[in-house]
Structure 1
Amino acid sequence: MLRIALCDDETSARDALRFQLEKILLDGNEEIVYEFNSGKRAVSWLAKHPGEIDLLFLDVEMDEMNGMEAATDIRKFNQDLMIVFVTGYTDYVFDGYKVGALDYIIKPAGAGRVRELMERARSMTADVNDTFFTFQNADGTFKVSCRDILYCYSEKRLVHLVTAQKEYQFYDKLDHVEEALGDGFVRIHQRYLVNSLAVAHVSASSVTLAGTELPISRALRQQASEKLARAMLGGDF
């Protein structure tokens, strides 16, 4: 799914771009999920919601914080977000490559140009060899790369998802999370589910990953140990 955001301090400009996009979005697979009216608000929100947006159309000429400044700040915490600059001038075009911009659109956005950019974004998304886990909590919807997940554990109805950078919490059953994450993750305990590629050491009673030791239950010891051994000896994710 391609999740899109627009950032422009002019309502009419956002409306015009949204109109062009809505004509070509693929139903059920692409949607405009957020709109920002300032670069500062976009940066602040994106920093708190990693992975929730795939493609950002970012106006260059904005007051307080312009689009180039916003993109520079975004790249400090997110290298993967596809950024398309929207500008009324060609002067900024080459500056966009300094922040890894996908491309640019000259205002007003023409239908052909928008379609061309969306095709590029779709192609890049399809080429990424990664899978993601999506979940919701009180702070919004999050999309986390499965490779970044170290382990998950449950406390009653609450699931904790742990990465090297952050720990997330959301309501679900660990059984459902295990099914969604797939074979790369191994259940070692009723309460614990680990990323097999993140495990550094396996003993008779525990596994160690990222400096954390987690227990293996007796009931799951043999099955879990076999799966983890295969993964540590070179099994695929």
Structure 2
Amino acid sequence: MLNLVICDDERALRNDLRKVLETELDLCGKTFKIAEFDCGEALVRALNDSAFDIIFLDIEMKDLDGVATARVIRKKTSAPEIIFVTSYPDFVFQGYEVQALNYILKPYQREKIVSVLHTALERLGRDTEKYYLVESKGQRLRLPLNQTLYFSSDKRSVKAVTPEDQYTFYGKLSDLETELPDHFVRIHNRYLVNLKYVQSLQGNSVLIGEEELPVSRSCKQELAIAFAKYMLD
């Protein structure tokens, strides 16, 4: 089931957006649930108990605005697709720092909503049910790539890091690099990262969650290009 969120302090606009989303998702044959929040604080609290796939987030809200709300969301999780809703196009450039997928301008245009929704659905579909088979601690495991933050290597040993656990197995990063999807990118001779979880590029390092990983000089340009391309896809 798809879990969507509309976070906007104007009830009428929440209703308008909801109608378009419900109609389009019904036409696509999707099973879904749409939660509504009238402030960023309520959405952030709900993250403790719920996992959301797509979040439509108004930028201009009182107290915790949309950009600040998105920053809090990204500290907790990189999973949901965030789509900003705004009356002012100048705000949309702030979306890059929180990995926002796109933006929708008010007053709403149905065609734009549908287009952005389908892009989000495609990205979610691209990320689902992809695994990498590894031998770890005598067991054959299906490593969920969608949840893998990065791989690190130490000689002939590779460690896969997820938000919940770590898995160590025999192998080489060079082999992984050729076998994994394109959004896994080499940043160092010891690190291969999932661009989905890269929050920012910081000179000679990348930020993934609260962890800072080094970027080698030879990988810096290729990483910047790959990250920009991933954000635009």
TM range (shorter): 0.5 to 0.7
Tell me how far 1:125 sits from its aligned partner: 1.3
Partner of 1:9: 9
Residues 198 and 28 from structure 1, CA distance in 2 versus in 1: closer, same or farther, beyond 3 angstroms? farther
- Show the counterpart of 2:69: 70
Per the alignment, in what secondary structure is the counterpart of residue 9 of structure 1? coil
Cα pair 1:4 1:30 within 8 Å, conserved: no
Q: Deviations over 1:26-64 (max 9, x none)?
A: 465242431111101101111332xx2100000000011
Please list the CA deviations of residues 178-202 of structure 1 after superposition, one character each: whole Å capped at 9, or x if unmatched: xxxxxxxxxxxxxxxxxxx9588xx
CA distance in 2, matches of 1:60, 1:164: 28
Aligned partner of 1:95 in structure 2 is 94
Q: Paired residue for 1:44?
A: 45
Going from structure 1 to structure 2, the CA distance change for 1:40 and 1:28 (only over 3 Å counts) comes to: same
Q: Please show how residues 134-213 of structure 1 align to structure 2 within 5 Å.
A: 165=164, 198=167
* Other structure's SS at 1:56 match: strand
Q: Which runs of 4+ in 1 moved over 6 A?
A: none
Residue 146 and residue 93 in structure 1: after superposition, are their counterparts in 2 closer, same or farther (change >3 A)? same
The answer as to 2:52 corresponding to 1:53 is yes
Q: Which amino acid aligns with 2:86?
A: T
Gaps of 5+ in 2: 132-142, 148-161, 170-233
- Tell me which residue corresponds to 1:31: 32
Moved more, 123-132 or 57-66: 123-132
Judged with a 3 Å threshold, the aligned counterparts in structure 2 of structure 1 residues 164 and 15 are, in CA distance, closer, same or farther, namely closer
Deviation of the 1:130 alpha carbon: 3.0
Letter in 2 for 1:16: D
CA-based RMSD = 2.8
Structure 2 CA distance, aligned partners of 1:199 and 1:97?
Answer: 33
SS of equivalent to 1:79: coil
The Cα shift of 1:25 comes to 0.8
- Tell whether 2:32 aligns with 1:20: no
AA aligned to 2:115 is E
- Could you say what secondary structure the match of 1:20 adopts? helix
Letter in 1 for 2:82: I
Q: TM-score, normalised by structure 2?
A: 0.55
Specify whether residues 77 and 164 from structure 1 end up closer, same or farther in structure 2 by C-alpha distance, changes over 3 A only.
closer
Query: Is the alpha carbon distance of 1:130 and 1:17 closer, same or farther for their aligned partners in structure 2, counting shifts above 3 Å?
Result: same
Gap regions ≥5 residues in structure 1: 133-144, 149-162, 167-196, 201-237
How far is the alpha carbon of 1:164 from its aligned partner? 6.4
Number of residues paired by the alignment? 144
More helix by share: 2
Q: Tell me the distance in 1 between the aligned counterparts of 2:119 and 2:163.
A: 31
| Deviation, structure 1 residue 131 | 6.1
CA distance in 1 between counterparts of 2:94 and 2:103 reads 11
C-alpha distance in 2 between matches for 1:58 and 1:67: 6
CA–CA separation in structure 1 for the residues paired with 2:163 and 2:85 = 34
How do residues 116-135 of structure 1 correspond to structure 2 at under 5 angstroms? 116-130=115-129
The CA deviation at 1:118 is 1.2
* Amino acid paired to 1:10: E
The 1-side partners of 2:43 and 2:93 are apart by 22
Residue identity over aligned pairs, in percent, reads 34
CA pair 164-77 structure 1, distance change in 2 beyond 3 A: closer
- Letter in structure 2 aligned against 1:23: T
Tell me by how many angstroms 1:96 deviates.
0.8
C-alpha separation in 1, matches of 2:19 and 2:128: 31
- Greater Rg by CA: 1
